[in-house]
């Protein structure tokens, strides 16, 4: 299926009829907000492999959600989105209006601290780092960012597995699906019988197994899908 309009119509039709939609986002969804991804043409790892210096640092205070983030929030507000899994730490999903109980942030959040014991998160303030957790009073407050080699937060992982097992449509947006254990989620969804949609400019390990593939920008695809979905629902 090569025609973009035809693929958009197919995706909108699936979402109109969906019973349990789970979405999964990676760095590629935030490039339109001015944040560099990792494996794209000018991504961090791509530049390293070419011997180029890293891209300019991001002024996080000025970064705003883009049309892809808001399209996902629209799906939430329409009652279509059941759960969102993200590899991103940029806080843009929450900033766009995603409800905290509907998102699993696999790699943490730059604006949050977490407890080393109960894993609850609170807004990050410099004077709170390494202080006692006010919720469980057992652990210490540390950065919520998950570095290479660290374990994924238990609740985020367990929630993601549970929702992936229940979904009938799993949409990947802006991820090459190469980082473990994130790659488990589309696999779990496929085994549960879900349709798999991939929106990503780079190849993924699931390209030959997905039911619908978009190479276009995530913002373009998701905003067009919302427009088509609105028309389908109104008719």
Q: Which residues are catalytic?
A: 107
Instruction: Compute CA distances 77 → 32, 74, 82, 93, whole Å.
Output: 22, 5, 10, 13
Is the omega angle on the peptide bond into residue 181 within 30 degrees of 0, that is, cis? Answer: yes
Q: Read off the tokens for 17.
A: 């009829």
Q: Which residues pair with 199 in a beta bridge?
A: 173, 214
Q: How far apart (Å, rounded) are the C-alpha atoms in residues 110 and 24? A: 19
User: DSSP string covering 63-115, please?
Assistant: ----HHHHHHHHHHHTT-EEEEEE---S-HHHHTT--GGGEEETT--TTEEEE
Angle between helices 4-17 and 218-234 (to 10 degrees): 60
3-state secondary structure at position 16: helix
Q: Is residue 64 within 8 Å of 95, Cβ to Cβ?
A: yes
> Among residues 100, 71, 99, which one has the least CA distance to residue 171?
71
112-115 sheet: strands from edge to edge: 121-123, 112-115, 141-143
């Amino acid at each position: 299926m090569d025609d973009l309009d035809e693929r958009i119509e197919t995706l909108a039709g699936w979402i109109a009829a969906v019973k349990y939609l789970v979405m999964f986002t990676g760095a590629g969804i935030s490039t339109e907000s001015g944040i560099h991804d990792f494996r794209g043409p000018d991504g961090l790892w791509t530049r390293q492999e070419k011997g180029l210096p890293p891209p300019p640092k991001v002024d996080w205070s000025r970064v705003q959600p883009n049309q892809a983030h808001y399209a996902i929030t629209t799906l939430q507000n329409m009652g279509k989105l059941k759960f969102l899994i993200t590899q991103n730490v940029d806080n843009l999903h929450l900033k766009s209006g995603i409800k905290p109980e509907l998102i699993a942030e696999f790699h943490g959040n730059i604006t949050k601290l977490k407890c080393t014991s109960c894993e609850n998160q609170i807004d990050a303030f410099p004077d709170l780092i390494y202080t006692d957790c006010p919720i469980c009073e057992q652990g210490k407050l540390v950065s919520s960012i998950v570095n290479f080699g660290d374990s994924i937060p238990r609740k985020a992982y367990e929630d993601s597995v549970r929702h992936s097992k229940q979904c009938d449509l799993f949409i990947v947006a802006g991820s090459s699906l190469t980082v473990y254990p994130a790659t488990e989620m589309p696999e779990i969804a496929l085994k549960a019988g879900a349709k798999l949609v991939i929106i990503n400019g780079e190849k993924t390990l699931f390209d030959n197994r997905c039911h619908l593939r978009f190479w276009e920008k995530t913002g373009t695809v998701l905003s067009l899908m919302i427009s088509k979905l609105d028309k389908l629902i109104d008719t």
